[in-house]
């Protein structure tokens, strides 16, 4: 099982966490190392895309983001964050 999640840090940044667990070959350190390296590579690719998106959003303020069914979770998260941010009163 592989899980990843993001949590906001500021209005323009977030933390991106990932982890993995398995219930097979748990004593195989070589498999663990290879799997961790492969998954780490996938998440580094995701990081690159997320950073590019983060730069593109403020650079194109009038552009409406396209939402696809597979992106429903991220779309809902952005909507929730936007609502929460708009509800905040400046200090």
- pLDDT tens digits, 38-77: 988 888 888 888 888 888 888 998 888 777 788 788 888 8
CA distance 59 to 79: 19
Give me 68's structure tokens.
């696809």
Residue 14 in contact with residue 8, Cβ under 8 Å? yes
The pTM assigned to this predicted structure is 0.54
């Amino acid at each position: 099982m592989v899980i990843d999640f993001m949590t906001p840090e500021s209005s323009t940044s977030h933390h991106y966490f990932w982890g993995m667990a398995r219930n097979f070959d748990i004593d195989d350190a070589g498999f663990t190392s290879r799997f961790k390296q492969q998954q780490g590579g996938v998440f580094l690719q995701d990081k690159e895309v997320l950073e590019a998106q983060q730069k593109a959003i403020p650079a194109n303020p009038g552009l409406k983001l396209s939402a696809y069914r597979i992106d429903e979770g991220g779309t809902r998260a952005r909507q929730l964050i936007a609502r929460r941010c708009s509800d905040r009163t400046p200090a």
